Structure 1
Amino acid sequence: MSNIYMPERGEILSIVQESPIEWLFKVKTTIKPAPGQFIQLSIHMVGEAPISVANYNHDEEWIEFLIRKVGKVTDAIFNLQPGDSIFLRGAYGNCFPMDTYSGKRVIVVAGGSGTAPVRPLIKHFIDDENTDIELIFGFKDQESILFKKEIDEWRKKAPMILTVDKGCGIDGECVGLVTEYIPHLKMYENFDNLEVVIVGPPMMMKYSALEFLKLGIPEDKIWVSFERNMSCAVGKCGHCKIDETYVCLEGPIFNYVKAKTLLD
Structure 2
Amino acid sequence: MSRNEYVPFLSEILDVIKHTEIEYTFRMAYDGEVKPGQFFEVSVPKYGEAPISVSGIGEGFADLTIRRVGKVTNEVFELYKGDKLFLRGPYGNGFDIEEYKGKELVVIAGGTGVSPVRGVIEYFAKRSDERKNMTLVAGFKSEDDILFRDDFQFWRQNMDVILTLDNGEETKDHKIGLVTKYIPDLILEDVNTAVAIVVGPPAMMRFSVKGLLERGFKEENIWISQERKMCCGLGKCGHCKIGNQYVCLDGPVFNYTVGKTLID
CA distance in 2, matches of 1:56, 1:97: 14
1:85 aligned residue: 84
CA distance in 2, matches of 1:109, 1:263: 21
Deviation at 1:189, TM superposition (A): 4.2
Q: What are the ranges of 5 or more consecutive residues in structure 2 without an aligned counterpart? A: none
1:164 aligned residue: 165
CA distance in 1, matches of 2:140, 2:148: 12
Deviation at 1:96, TM superposition (A): 0.8
Aligned residues: 261
Would the aligned equivalents of 1:228 and 1:247 in 2 still touch at CA under 8 Å? no
Residues 145-198 of structure 1, C-alpha deviations (whole Å, 9 max, x = no match): 111111011111111111101011223311000000001112344513x11000
CA distance in 2, matches of 1:6, 1:172: 45
Would the aligned equivalents of 1:202 and 1:263 in 2 still touch at CA under 8 Å? no
2:57 aligned residue: 56
Superposed, which structure 2 residues align to 1:100-179 within 5 Å? 100-128=99-127, 129-132=129-132, 133-179=134-180
Normalising to structure 1: TM-score of the pair? Answer: 0.95
**Within the alignment, does 1:8 sit opposite 2:6 as a pair?**
no
CA distance in 2, matches of 1:9, 1:163: 38
1:197 aligned residue: 197
Residues 73-119 of structure 1, C-alpha deviations (whole Å, 9 max, x = no match): 11111111221110111110011121111111110001111111111
CA distance change for structure 1 residues 259 and 78 in 2, over 3 Å: closer, same or farther?
same
Letter in 1 for 2:137: I
CA distance in 1, matches of 2:103, 2:184: 20
Residues 44-63 of structure 1, C-alpha deviations (whole Å, 9 max, x = no match): 12111100001021x3x111
CA distance in 1, matches of 2:231, 2:99: 29
1:260 aligned residue: 260
Deviation at 1:28, TM superposition (A): 1.3
Letter in 1 for 2:40: I
Deviation at 1:229, TM superposition (A): 4.0
2:33 aligned residue: 32
Normalising to structure 2: TM-score of the pair? Answer: 0.95
Would the aligned equivalents of 2:195 and 2:217 in 1 still touch at CA under 8 Å? no
SS at match of 1:54: strand
SS at match of 1:187: coil
The alignment yields a C-alpha RMSD, in angstroms, of 1.4
SS at match of 1:124: helix
2:232 aligned residue: 232
Letter in 1 for 2:161: M
Letter in 2 for 1:35: P
1:46 aligned residue: 47
Deviation at 1:252, TM superposition (A): 0.5
Deviation at 1:31, TM superposition (A): 4.0
SS at match of 1:206: helix
SS at match of 1:257: helix
SS at match of 1:228: helix
Letter in 2 for 1:98: I
Deviation at 1:17, TM superposition (A): 1.1
Deviation at 1:30, TM superposition (A): 2.6
Q: What are the ranges of 5 or more consecutive residues in structure 1 without an aligned counterpart? A: none
Q: Percent identity?
A: 43
CA distance change for structure 1 residues 233 and 65 in 2, over 3 Å: closer, same or farther?
same
2:98 aligned residue: 99
SS at match of 1:183: coil
CA distance in 2, matches of 1:72, 1:263: 29
Would the aligned equivalents of 1:29 and 1:62 in 2 still touch at CA under 8 Å? yes
CA distance in 2, matches of 1:135, 1:258: 23
**Within the alignment, does 1:210 sit opposite 2:210 as a pair?**
yes
Residues 125-160 of structure 1, C-alpha deviations (whole Å, 9 max, x = no match): 113213032111111111111111110111111111
